[in-house]
Amino acid sequence: METVVSGIRSTGNLHLGNYFGAMKNFIKMQQEYNCYFFIADYHSLTTHPNPQNLHLHVKNVLVEYLAAGIDPEKSTIYVQSDLPEIAELYLLLNMNAYLGELERCTSFKDKIRNNSENINAGLLTYPVLMAADIIIHKATKVPVGKDQEQHLEMARTFANRFNRMYDTEYFPEPHAFNFGTQLVKIPGLDGNGKMGKSEGENNAVFLADSPDQIRKKVMKAVTDAGPTEPNQVKPAIIQNLFDIMKAVSPTSNYQHFDELYNNQQIRYGDFKKQLAEDIIVFTSPIREKILEIGANTDYLKKVAKNGADKARESASKTIKEVREIIGFKSF
């Protein structure tokens, strides 16, 4: 059975982008694959959270993973920092990761541009840590959004380079995966590119948002003066809202507003109202579970402990074999 590894950084609550990029098919995935779902808390240290925030965010992601349908009886769910084996594999892979290729990575270049006061080595080697996360369980499939495509390419590079270097076929090639369909990019509500946790408070709809918060955010989304001719190409700020509707709403709602747009009869107020209600219908069952699971500390403790034990079994086997391949021997 093929192995799936999926990770989400613990930097806040999860939003619709995370859901459609990585989590949508959790239930199906865990029936067909050997699945590892983890909370990337080492990765979140690049932005220097304080200890309370770090713990709170790890808890949020754990709760929201479970609320989205992960069954800890079927899958392995764990916190990255509970596996020191990942840090060891990261160190080993770093020896064969070159400065030039790391500097060329788009996400690193974006960070330099937007975050010039904190360009740390963790950001530079982020793709190496991500590769370690994936290949520590010898995964071949990695459910991610479009923004992670290049990181997956780098994970393949590091896995293949290790194999070549030691003349082995130890690590299989990991590939980005969205259950047979294209990788997705869910846009933000503010018209500025993708939905993200750190793109401003009105950009993202979180799975834990209340119906009122959702209505407020969606009604604030920027629109324009309306189409000026029939069947015109939609400008990005409008297309973004249609893209979100396509993800969350019944097809008939999407088609209805698409037709109104094409006939120049659309009223953005009605369109956004419908979009907000459709998001609420979509997120409400998840939100209810978030509230229920979040209050059950004993259950969360048990899930994290069992997950760490199961994940360490697989990770320590890999590390033992990798050490042998590299030539570490005890006297």
Quick one: which of 208, 278, 210 has its CA closest to 244? 278
Question: Pick the catalytic residue: 141, 194, 217, 272?
Answer: 194
Residue 140 C-beta: closest distance to ligand TYM, Å: 12
**Backbone torsion region of residue 173, taken as left when φ is above 0, otherwise alpha when ψ lies between -120 and 50, otherwise beta:** beta
Residue 43 C-beta: closest distance to ligand TYM, Å: 5
Q: Which residues bind ligand TYM (CB under 6 A)?
A: 5-9, 17-18, 20-22, 40, 43, 130, 133-134, 142, 144-145, 147-148, 151, 184-186, 194-196
Cα torsion 200, 149, 99, 163: sign: positive
For residue 292 the two structure tokens come to 């229920």
Question: Pick the catalytic residue: 24, 111, 141, 217?
Answer: 111
For residue 31 the two structure tokens come to 């029936």
Cα 189 to the chain's mean position, in Å?
18
Give the three-state DSSP class for 324.
helix
CA angle 101–104–108, rounded 5-degree value: 110
Which residues make Cβ contacts (< 8 Å) with residue 257, sequence separation at least 6? Answer: 242, 245, 266, 271, 274
Rg (CA), the chain: 21
**220 noted as active-site residue:** no
By beta-carbon proximity to ligand TYM, the closer residue of 17 and 49 is: 17
Residue 295 C-beta: closest distance to ligand TYM, Å: 24
**111 noted as active-site residue:** yes
By beta-carbon proximity to ligand TYM, the closer residue of 145 and 227 is: 145
Q: Are the C-beta atoms of residues 99 and 325 closer than 8 Å to each other?
A: no
**194 noted as active-site residue:** yes
By beta-carbon proximity to ligand TYM, the closer residue of 17 and 307 is: 17
By beta-carbon proximity to ligand TYM, the closer residue of 140 and 266 is: 140
By beta-carbon proximity to ligand TYM, the closer residue of 72 and 196 is: 196
Residue 164 C-beta: closest distance to ligand TYM, Å: 22
Q: Phi then psi for 206, rounded to 5 degrees?
A: -90, 150
By beta-carbon proximity to ligand TYM, the closer residue of 9 and 156 is: 9
Residue 126 C-beta: closest distance to ligand TYM, Å: 7
Report the helix count and the strand count for the chain, using DSSP H and E: 15, 5
Question: Pick the catalytic residue: 59, 74, 185, 197?
Answer: 197
DSSP bridge pairs for 141: 4, 175
Q: Are the C-beta atoms of residues 156 and 173 closer than 8 Å to each other?
A: yes
Residue 14 C-beta: closest distance to ligand TYM, Å: 8
| Residues known to be catalytic | 111, 194, 197
